[in-house]
Amino acid sequence: MNAPYPAPFFPPDPQTAAGSRIAEFARRQGIDSGDYAALHRWSVTDLEGFWAGVWEYFGIDAATPYEQVLAEERMPDARWFTGATLNYAHHALRHLADDDTAIVALDETGSGYEVTGKRLRAQVASVAATLRDLGVGEGDRVVGYLPNTPHAIVAIVAFLAAASLGAVWSVCGQDYAPQAAADRFAQLEPTTAASYSSVGAVGSRGGAVGAYASAPHIGEEGQDEHAPHAGRHVT
């Protein structure tokens, strides 16, 4: 008879395994941290108990508490944590110390830069304020037409800013032609859009067409070579 689990490709040493987050989670639930099979068995036989434990372990800070962990146990359309409301951006940023490295951005040449927690929070707050001034609110769509370069930190900042307002974020790369990007985004009926003015490929840089949608536009200006600047928007 075959073993229930295949041999792991790379087993960590016992000390590393005992110090892992999954081992800590198991111990908090009263499960032997070395008995992965028991943890897995619990996760598939007691869905509500397991996911309630995950919620508590990660300290989810809900604006309104959940009424039931699993209201409808069916796939598809299972309904989890009914009644709960929370903000993703708040959770993504809440444990970042000012001097923590929040983002490491590198291009194909290996050059790049780092963004601290303090700087990331300030950038997110700035872009969120601009989005709010543009009328973006809960359920609105914000889209980005952005390059696959270190400057794509704009995507992270704009995503978190949109999420902080309850808006939906969507992005596509500048390898899409402007009209193709406009057609893709038109289906979402975006409230506003974000882009960066240049793209890079194998170390080269060139201009990118930015007039791709009729929504208000958050662009990039040159006050900070790396940081998204939310001070300009055009229709």
Write out pLDDT tens, residues 191-216.
Answer: 998 887 655 544 444 433 333 334 45
Residues 97 and 181 in one domain: yes
> Is 7 domain-assigned?
no
233 confidence band (pLDDT: 50, 70, 90): very low
220 and 161 belong to one structural domain: yes
Per-residue pLDDT tens over the stretch 128-152:
999 999 999 999 999 998 887 777 7
* Domain-located, residue 49: yes
Task: Name the percent of the chain lying above pLDDT 90.
Answer: 57
What is the Cα–Cα distance from 218 to 155, expressed in whole angstroms? 11
Strand partners, 204: 201
- Whole-number Å distance between alpha carbons of 103 and 193: 22
pLDDT at residue number 197: 65
**Is 143 a member of any domain?**
yes
162 and 221 in a single domain? The answer is yes
**Res 149: pLDDT:** 76
For residue 108, give both structure tokens.
Answer: 């194909």
Same-domain status, 66 and 47: yes
Q: 38-58, pLDDT tens digit by residue?
A: 999 999 999 999 999 999 999
- Residues 109, 190, single domain; the answer is yes
> pTM higher than 0.95, yes or no?
no
The total number of structural domains that make up the chain: 2
- Is 9 within a domain? no
Name the domain boundary from 22, 52, 86.
86
**Domain presence at residue 28:** yes
* 75 and 141, same domain (yes or no): no
Q: Would you put residue 203 in left (φ > 0), alpha (ψ -120 to 50) or beta?
A: left
49-58, 104-113, 117-126, 180-189: least confidently modelled range:
104-113
Q: Share the mean pLDDT of the chain.
A: 82
Say whether both 104 and 81 belong to one domain: no
The verdict on 150 and 225 lying in the same domain is yes
Task: Answer yes or no: do 219 and 158 share one domain.
Answer: yes
Per-residue pLDDT of 76-106, as tens digits, reads 899 999 999 999 999 999 999 999 999 998 8
- At residue 220, the pLDDT reads 46
Given a cut of 60, whether residue 22 has pLDDT beyond it is yes
- Phi, psi angle pair for 84, to nearest 5°: -80, 140
Quick check: 174 and 143 in contact, CB under 8 A? no
